[in-house]
Chain A
Amino acid sequence: MTTKMMGERVPRVEDDRLVTGNGRYSDDLVPGALEMAVLRSPHAHAQIVSIDVEAVLDLHGVHAVYTYEDLTGALAEPLPLLIPHPTLTHGRTQYTLAKDEVNYVGEAIAVVVADNRYIAEDAVDRIEVEYKLLTPVVGIPAARAARDLVHADVPANKAATMHQSFGDADAAIDAAPHRLSLDFTIERSASMPLEGRGTVARWDEDLNRMSVWTSTQTSTGVRAAVASKLGLDLGQVDVVTPDVGGGFGVKIMHPWPEELLVPMAAKALRHPVKFIEDRREHFISAAHERGQEQHIEVGFDDEGRMQGLSVYFWHDNGAYTPYGLIVPIITSTQLLGPYKPPNYSVTFESLYTNTVIVTPYRGAGRPQGVYAMERTMDAIAAHLGKDRVAVREANFIQPEDFPYAQGDLLFQDGRPLIYDSGDYPELMNKAKALIDWEDFEAYREEARAAGRKVGIGIACYVEGTGVGPYEGGHVHVETTGKVKVSTGLTSQGQGHQTAFAQIVADELGVPFESVEVVTGDTRRSPYSVGTFASRAAVMSGSAIALAARNAREKALRIAAEALEADVDDLEIADGIVRVKGAPQSQIELGTLAVLSNPLRYAFDEASSAATQFAVGDPNKPPVDEDDEPGLEGKDYYSPMRCTFASGIHAVIVETDPETAEIKILRYAVVHDCGTLINPKIVEGQIHGGVAQGVGGALYERMAYDEYGQLQNASFMDFLMPYVTEVPDEIEVDHQETPSPLNPLGLKGAGEAGVIPTSAVFASAIEDAEGFPITAMPISPSELYALRLEHEHDKDVERPAK
């Protein structure tokens, strides 16, 4: 009997190559490729008066230099606006190389291709550009004030204003027994994978084909972009995703200018070309996320039940909007979390600034929405003097409410926001138990007696995962019995090769070790979308399960014929089809693969069993009319809408009374991502997400000065947590509420760890300090300033009393 693999803590098959130095990342490929370096704008806002490349042309080792003038056809057009939306009335995208204006420090102006990166950088330094400086718009307040414009033809710096609502929030707030008006801000951060962007391309003149390897979250997206921009047929372009050193969202943005320029140069120079981004470039020319200002009006009853919620927020989308409005739309819809306000209104403005573009970073707008909602819950509790958990519970959607529609809101996929399943009260019970919520006041008293300040925070989230449109799976049984699986979406460390093999092992009935999974290779899976929105397990997992079931069905059909048995009497285990109760009557899947492919030519002993003189009914065609040769299964999974994962985080912090340092004492996570494929991998995703969340809450920000220069564009000053900044242990409890929307009951798990972290830290620090925390991230220096401010306020208030 085959051991069931679903739900098992199976060690990853990826690890052998990665722990021995045998991973293949973009910069490890195609030795001898020429290397590209990019001249980037040193100014946040300027007109380009002239570009002089004269000093570069004759340099030894330089093969080519390109500016906008050298681009032709579609390449000379602006980069694609990937996700258009009717509300995005003033969408703008940059040119592959700046045409006559630059809008952020880091925007690509020219590229040099040279023998190696050293020489390419020497050459880039010698290109002379004359600029006419324009006033940069930096930060949301400046964008809102609109004294200066980022794009001359975009009034008030507004890319879009979008409104959604259900019920009548304003009337409900007016009529409510209590109301609060709240303002929050949240700063920028970034995905910041340890491997930056990287692209290698080879043009094969003999085969008339372009091969591209790129560190991306969507091989099919890059393929389509390269074909369209370079004027090639889709069928001429192969995009292969090698090992990818982390993505976290930044690599779903595509095509990057370099992803087009590298293949362009490779074709022009008839030599492989490579671009490997360095760290400084990643800071100033990849993408950021998170920056928002939020205004909230909420009306509620004596129990803290929301009667009406009205949200207005301003979203900093950076200099261009290639990824459309996805991030703020997610904020505006996922803000509601596990709660059911009867009346809701949300409006956002997506604003241009002269800074790096904003596209999804793990969580993609959800951390901001959860922050707004959970800060509001805490404010309601504080206002009523109620327990923060009780207020949340009073607003929860109940288990019997599912499927639950959040009014008629539309989600990021343009589909109704309908939660499929969940059990939020039970999640809260688990969270309270895990963090010992009820015992905290006693602990606080103990700590206070010892001169210590501690605080506890709690935050809930609901995450729409597994967004469409579709993914596919292909399962092919080789004549050796090995099972080759392909799916089109890519992997950046999530262990897809392992998790998908677990699914196939169970669905097909084969040993886990015989399954080999390939992801993100357009030669194997030309139809696919990509890895984002915690969708890989849900989408490709489901598609692969369906594909494996198809392969199984075919295997059973052939086996029934071969064993002269009824299909219903057969079972597959360990790669062998048996007649139930008659174990001597059996046939291996590999043999079935041989039989599935009628041959004219034998090339080994096994295949001779399938030649025309060996098998087949002479009165029937060798391949039935509605059949295909080969033992394989293929299918696509395309859901009606997202499935909604959920969870609650709780944290206990200690703040130093003198230095305002913030120490994490305990961190607990309960979560529900439906059926678990591999708990080890899921927990790894949670750990990593929480660590990124700690970074986003306490350490990381993009520190722009008024000129639009990023002050901390290095790992020295952009403070990603080391081990010393994260909790020793993240305490985790799982809840499994299967999704009714897909064959395995899966929900996504990749992003959740990072979603409620800013909210939960704000909650805990506020609890420790006794004054509102309304801006995140928060540093000790900022906490110290708040203390002084509130002490001052107290001093001012005292005489009046």
Chain B
Amino acid sequence: MKPAPFRYERPETLDRALAALAAEPGAKVLAGGQSLIPLMSMRLSSVPLLIDINGLSDLAHITVDETGVRFGAIVRHSDLLEHGGAREVQPLIAAALAHVAHPTIRNRGTTVGSIVHADASGEMPMILCLTGGSLTVASTQGRREIAATDLFIGPLETSLEAEEIAVEAFMPALAAGSGIAYDEIARRHGDYALCGVGAVVTLDEQGRVTHARTGYVSVSETPVIVDVTECFDEGQVDERSLTAAGELALGQLDPETDIHGTSDYRAQLARSLTARVLRTAHEDARARGAQKVSA
């Protein structure tokens, strides 16, 4: 299980990296490599040229302000997970990152890398969508920003062009009055989820649900976000509304059968987790509201 030969470049500037990629569009970019290297070792991914961007210290930033969290392409999952500011401004990031593989993988793997890997079984593509985030990509032609909704176009497929490198992701701050939750069920702790669900619930000052969205991992070909606000009649959270939310979501999901679970079972998990995370997100919203009042 050894990779086939490839050429290797480790540019010291982004421009050089982009030039190298432009010159050889079949080249692959190496950031954390935690998904790419096993594929190369199994010879499932053919790589004529590997462009290692770990020397681009400009892409190692985590910037947090009231609008949200920006992080560069070589920010490791573990650094983002441990970033207090990021956790405060958009708590979904840490909530989901804690479920990404195991700590050792998170020490090397990058969040931007995981986003552009675009695996619908990965937590972070869905979180980018659920937070309404975006990805900044660069090429020798310049930069552009791709909204999460336009990014994931198929299984393991993004709208990045062959000569583009993702340089930064942005996840907007959690809106006032909102709470979050993420939970997933995997066969083993740390495995890809059989189903994962994230939720954002926003309450008005009377504590009624004004907005509720859920996002799904592993039960569709690309991340799916469902607006379940309509299920909360008069903004109340109860068994009936939570069940309705699950059923509404299932209408937009397409869970598949694989060796770890049937589509029926994954649908059941989506149902169960939808209720679970909405309930938790609702509690979280109330707790945050209370915190704010007491502060």
Cross-chain contact B260 with A781 (CB below 8 angstroms)? yes
Q: Mark B141-165, 1 if CB is under 8 A from A, else 0.
A: 0000000000000000000000000
Cross-chain contact B269 with A659 (CB below 8 angstroms)? yes
Which of the candidate stretches B63-71, B183-191, B216-224, B285-293 sits at the interface with the other chain?
Answer: B183-191
A717 CB contact (under 8 Å) in B3, B259, B261: B259
B188 CB contact (under 8 Å) in A117, A721, A785: A721
B42 CB contact (under 8 Å) in A280, A661, A712: A280
Which of the candidate stretches A118-126, A262-270, A305-313, A533-541 sits at the interface with the other chain?
Answer: A118-126
A130 on interface, CB distance cutoff 8 Å: no
Cross-chain contact B188 with A725 (CB below 8 angstroms)? yes
Q: Mark B96-121, 1 if CB is under 8 A from A, else 0.
A: 00000000000000000000000000
Q: Using Cβ atoms and an 8 Å threshold, which residues of chain A touch B45?
A: none
A58 on interface, CB distance cutoff 8 Å: no
B83 on interface, CB distance cutoff 8 Å: no
Q: Using Cβ atoms and an 8 Å threshold, which residues of chain B touch A661?
A: 185
A722 on interface, CB distance cutoff 8 Å: yes
Q: Decide yes or no: A788 and B264 within 8 Å by CB, A122-B4, A659-B269 being known contacts.
A: yes
Q: Using Cβ atoms and an 8 Å threshold, which residues of chain A touch B295?
A: none
A775 on interface, CB distance cutoff 8 Å: no
Cross-chain contact A278 with B1 (CB below 8 angstroms)? yes
Cross-chain contact B42 with A785 (CB below 8 angstroms)? no
B251 on interface, CB distance cutoff 8 Å: no
Q: Using Cβ atoms and an 8 Å threshold, which residues of chain A touch B185?
A: 659, 661, 780
Cross-chain contact B188 with A724 (CB below 8 angstroms)? yes
How far, in Å, is A55 (CB) from chain B's closest CB?
15
Q: Using Cβ atoms and an 8 Å threshold, which residues of chain B touch A712?
A: 259
A675 on interface, CB distance cutoff 8 Å: no
Q: Using Cβ atoms and an 8 Å threshold, which residues of chain B touch A278?
A: 1
Q: Report the nearest B residue to A116, measured CB to CB.
A: B2
How far, in Å, is A194 (CB) from chain B's closest CB?
15
Q: Report the nearest B residue to A720, measured CB to CB.
A: B188
How far, in Å, is B112 (CB) from chain A's closest CB?
22
Q: Using Cβ atoms and an 8 Å threshold, which residues of chain B touch A482?
A: none
Cross-chain contact A699 with B259 (CB below 8 angstroms)? no
A719 on interface, CB distance cutoff 8 Å: yes
Q: Decide yes or no: A117 and B2 within 8 Å by CB, A699-B188, A719-B187 being known contacts.
A: yes
Q: Mark A710-749, 1 if CB is under 8 A from B, else 0.
A: 0110001101011011000000000000000000000000
Q: How far is the CA of A349 from the CA of B94 in the complex (A)?
A: 55
Q: Decide yes or no: A122 and B188 within 8 Å by CB, A703-B259, A781-B260 being known contacts.
A: no
Q: Decide yes or no: A779 and B260 within 8 Å by CB, A121-B2, A122-B4, A280-B42 being known contacts.
A: yes
Task: Please report the total number of B residues contacting A with Cβ < 8 Å.
Answer: 24
Cross-chain contact A658 with B189 (CB below 8 angstroms)? no
Cross-chain contact B262 with A122 (CB below 8 angstroms)? no
B57 on interface, CB distance cutoff 8 Å: no
Cross-chain contact A658 with B268 (CB below 8 angstroms)? yes
Q: Using Cβ atoms and an 8 Å threshold, which residues of chain A touch B272?
A: 658-659
Cross-chain contact A781 with B4 (CB below 8 angstroms)? no
Q: Using Cβ atoms and an 8 Å threshold, which residues of chain A touch B2?
A: 117-118, 121
Q: Using Cβ atoms and an 8 Å threshold, which residues of chain B touch A719?
A: 187-188, 191, 260
Cross-chain contact A699 with B268 (CB below 8 angstroms)? no
How far, in Å, is B174 (CB) from chain A's closest CB?
27
Q: Using Cβ atoms and an 8 Å threshold, which residues of chain A touch B194?
A: 781
Q: Decide yes or no: A780 and B259 within 8 Å by CB, A279-B1, A659-B269 being known contacts.
A: no
Cross-chain contact A780 with B265 (CB below 8 angstroms)? yes
Q: Using Cβ atoms and an 8 Å threshold, which residues of chain B touch A721?
A: 188
Report the interface size class on chain A: 20 to 34
Q: Mark B34-48, 1 if CB is under 8 A from A, else 0.
A: 000000001100000
Q: Report the nearest B residue to A718, measured CB to CB.
A: B259
Q: How far is the CA of A722 from the CA of B5 in the complex (A)?
A: 33
Q: Mark A675-715, 1 if CB is under 8 A from B, else 0.
A: 00000000000000000000000010001000000011000
Q: How far is the CA of A717 from the CA of B260 in the complex (A)?
A: 8
Q: Using Cβ atoms and an 8 Å threshold, which residues of chain A touch B4?
A: 121-122, 125
How far, in Å, is A37 (CB) from chain B's closest CB?
9
Cross-chain contact B191 with A725 (CB below 8 angstroms)? no
Q: Mark B17-41, 1 if CB is under 8 A from A, else 0.
A: 0000000000000000000000000
Q: Using Cβ atoms and an 8 Å threshold, which residues of chain B touch A781?
A: 194, 260-262, 265
A784 on interface, CB distance cutoff 8 Å: yes
Q: Decide yes or no: A785 and B1 within 8 Å by CB, A661-B185, A721-B188, A722-B188 being known contacts.
A: no
Cross-chain contact B188 with A779 (CB below 8 angstroms)? no
Q: Using Cβ atoms and an 8 Å threshold, which residues of chain B touch A699?
A: 187-188
Q: How far is the CA of A522 from the CA of B265 in the complex (A)?
A: 54
Cross-chain contact B189 with A725 (CB below 8 angstroms)? yes
Q: How far is the CA of A716 from the CA of B259 in the complex (A)?
A: 12
Q: Decide yes or no: A724 and B190 within 8 Å by CB, A121-B2, A278-B1, A279-B1 being known contacts.
A: yes
Q: How far is the CA of A523 from the CA of B212 in the complex (A)?
A: 73
Q: Report the nearest B residue to A695, measured CB to CB.
A: B188
How far, in Å, is A96 (CB) from chain B's closest CB?
23
Cross-chain contact A785 with B190 (CB below 8 angstroms)? no
Q: Report the nearest A residue to B273, measured CB to CB.
A: A659
Q: Using Cβ atoms and an 8 Å threshold, which residues of chain A touch B1?
A: 121, 278-280
How far, in Å, is B63 (CB) from chain A's closest CB?
34
Q: Report the nearest B residue to A723, measured CB to CB.
A: B189
Q: Using Cβ atoms and an 8 Å threshold, which residues of chain B touch A125?
A: 4, 43
Q: Report the nearest B residue to A712, measured CB to CB.
A: B259
Cross-chain contact B189 with A785 (CB below 8 angstroms)? no
How far, in Å, is B185 (CB) from chain A's closest CB?
6
How far, in Å, is A20 (CB) from chain B's closest CB?
21
How far, in Å, is A282 (CB) from chain B's closest CB?
10
Q: Decide yes or no: A724 and B187 within 8 Å by CB, A779-B260, A781-B262 being known contacts.
A: no
Q: Report the nearest A residue to B2, measured CB to CB.
A: A118
* Chain B 160-180 residues near chain A, CB threshold 8 A: none
Q: How far is the CA of A724 from the CA of B189 in the complex (A)?
A: 6
How far, in Å, is A713 (CB) from chain B's closest CB?
10
Q: How far is the CA of A658 from the CA of B273 in the complex (A)?
A: 9
Q: Using Cβ atoms and an 8 Å threshold, which residues of chain B touch A711?
A: 259
Q: Mark B269-282, 1 if CB is under 8 A from A, else 0.
A: 10010000000000
* Chain A 627-650 residues near chain B, CB threshold 8 A: none
How far, in Å, is B15 (CB) from chain A's closest CB?
32
A785 CB contact (under 8 Å) in B3, B260, B262: B262
Q: How far is the CA of A489 from the CA of B268 in the complex (A)?
A: 52
How far, in Å, is B265 (CB) from chain A's closest CB?
4
Cross-chain contact A722 with B190 (CB below 8 angstroms)? yes
Q: Report the nearest A residue to B269, measured CB to CB.
A: A659
Q: How far is the CA of A721 from the CA of B187 in the complex (A)?
A: 10
A-B contact pairs, 17 of them (CB 8 A): A121-B4, A125-B4, A125-B43, A658-B272, A659-B269, A659-B272, A703-B259, A719-B187, A719-B191, A724-B189, A725-B188, A779-B187, A780-B265, A781-B260, A784-B268, A785-B264, A785-B265
The 10 closest A-B pairs by CB, nearest first: A724-B189, A781-B261, A781-B265, A278-B1, A658-B272, A703-B259, A118-B2, A784-B265, A121-B2, A711-B259
Interface residues of B, Cβ cutoff 8 Å to A: 1-5, 42-43, 185, 187-192, 194, 259-262, 264-265, 268-269, 272
Other than the given A121-B1, A719-B191, 15 more pairs (CB < 8 A) read A118-B3, A118-B5, A121-B43, A278-B1, A659-B268, A699-B187, A716-B192, A717-B259, A719-B187, A722-B190, A724-B189, A725-B189, A779-B261, A780-B261, A785-B262
